[in-house]
Amino acid sequence: MCADENGEYDDWIELHNSTDLPLNVGGLCLTDNLNVPCKYLIPTHSPALTTIPARGYLLLWSDGQPDQGILHVNFKLDKAGEEIGLVQITDTDTVFVDSLTYGEQTTDISFGRSPDGAETWRLFETPTPLSSNQPTRVETVDHSLPATYALFQNHPNPFNLTTAIRYALPVLSQVKLNVYDLLGREVMTLVNQRQPAGRYTVIFEALALPSGIYFYRIQTPAFTQTKKAVFMR
């Protein structure tokens, strides 16, 4: 993702194919609202445009102008922070292949995993589309649903200012993900909504918090788990 001077991410979303074979993403969906999993359906009728080369990249323009071509999606991503998801929808299942909830960003930067395929998300002061260390990517696409609920250890940990928290849902669930300080006081709500089955990544930004030990807890009607995160400025 790349922010412009107007404060909207209307430049691009980049998908990375980390496999040794071409990968056609036609038929997958993109969304900036995880409650609406398919805001933009990547068309299937032009595989020459929607196929990512082996170890290659594909740019989709998040300019809200789908009439400009099939690689122009019908929404923009907000600089103030929101959600983005890559989704596969079949007759029976809605599977989040990848997703991210991010906070406020700054102008003229990109935001992505470093290195490609890693768990760590970071800011890049110089956007470099169609090359490594870039935003939302596609690895070997896992179309299966998670078998169980899971809350994973944040990464990096300890962390400086931002860290990624991942979790998995085997079924549609009401999800709460909160952060607490060492005294058990709630200091931040990261997620509070119903979410389809899938795999999720949320960015915990501790810009306004003092250094120290924090706990993040996921709660669903069928699953609760807490893990520790160490924030060091």
Span 40-71, pLDDT tens digits:
999 999 999 999 999 888 989 888 888 889 99
Task: Give one DSSP letter per residue of 96-159, joined into a string.
Answer: EEEEEE-----TT-EEEESSTT-S-EEEESS--TTSSS-SS-B-S---SPPSS-EEPPPBSSSB
Q: What is the pLDDT of residue 41?
A: 94
Ranges in the chain annotated CATH 2.60.40.1930: 150-231
How far CA 3 is from CA of 74, 81, 110, 139, in Å, comes to 17, 11, 7, 24
Provide the 3-class DSSP secondary structure of residue 67. helix
pTM above 0.85, yes or no: no
Q: What is the pLDDT of residue 6?
A: 46
User: Is the pLDDT at 133 greater than 90, yes or no?
Assistant: no
CATH superfamily, domain 150-231, is Macroglobulin (MG2) domain (2.60.40.1930)
Averaged pLDDT, 150-168:
90
